[in-house]
Amino acid sequence: MSRIIDTGLKELSATLYRMGELAHRAVLKALIECIEGREAHKEVREMADTLLAMADHIEDKAFELIARFQPVASDLRTIKSYMKIAYDFARFGRYALDISSINKQIGGLRNCEEWINSYVKEMSEKTSEMVRLSIESLKSHNTQIAEKISEKEKEVDRMYFEFLDELIKCGATTKCAVSSVLIVRYLERIADHAAYICESIIYIATGQKEVLR
Partner 1 sequence: MAVKFDVQNLNAWFGSKHVLKNINMKIEENAVTAIIGPSGCGKTTFIRCLNRMHEITPGARVSGKVIFNGVNIYDNGVDPVIIRRKIGMVFQKPNPFPMMSIYDNVAAGLKLNGVRDKKILDAAVRRSLELANLWDEVKDDLKKSGASLSGGQQQRLCIARALAVQPEVLLMDEPCSALDPIATAKIEALIRKLAENYTVVIVTHNMQQAARVSDYTAFLYLGELIEYGPTEQIFENPKHELTERYLTGKFG
The residues of the shown chain that bind partner 1, judged by CB under 8 A, are 1, 3, 5, 70-77, 207
Q: Considering beta carbons, is residue 6 or 39 the nearer one to partner 1? A: 6
- Nearer residue to partner 1 within complex by CB, 164 or 205: 205
Please state the closest distance from residue 1 (CB atom) to partner 1, in A: 6
Instruction: Report the nearest approach of partner 1 to the CB of residue 208 (Å).
Output: 8
Q: How far is the CB of 86 from partner 1 (least distance, A)?
A: 20
Query: Pick from 11, 31, 6, 55: which is nearest to 184 by CA?
Result: 31
Residue 2's region, left for phi above 0, alpha for psi from -120 to 50, else beta, is beta
Nearer to partner 1 (CB atom), residue 7 or residue 74: 74
37: helix, strand or coil: coil
What is the C-alpha separation between 193 and 128, in angstroms, rounded? 12
| CA distance linking residue 86 with residue 17, whole number of Å | 9
Find the shortest distance in angstroms from Cβ 116 to partner 1: 46
Between CA 123 and CA 155 the distance in angstroms is 9
Q: Shortest distance, CB of residue 12 to partner 1, whole angstroms? A: 15
| Distance in angstroms (rounded) separating the CA atoms of residues 206 and 204 | 6
Q: How far is the CB of 201 from partner 1 (least distance, A)?
A: 15
**What is d(CA 180, CA 186) in angstroms, rounded to the nearest whole number?**
10
Give the number of other Cβ atoms within 10 Å of residue 171's Cβ.
11
What's the alpha-carbon Rg for the chain, to the nearest Å? 18
CB 140 within 8 A of CB 74: no
Q: Three-state SS for 113?
A: coil
Nearer to partner 1, 72 or 168 (CB): 72
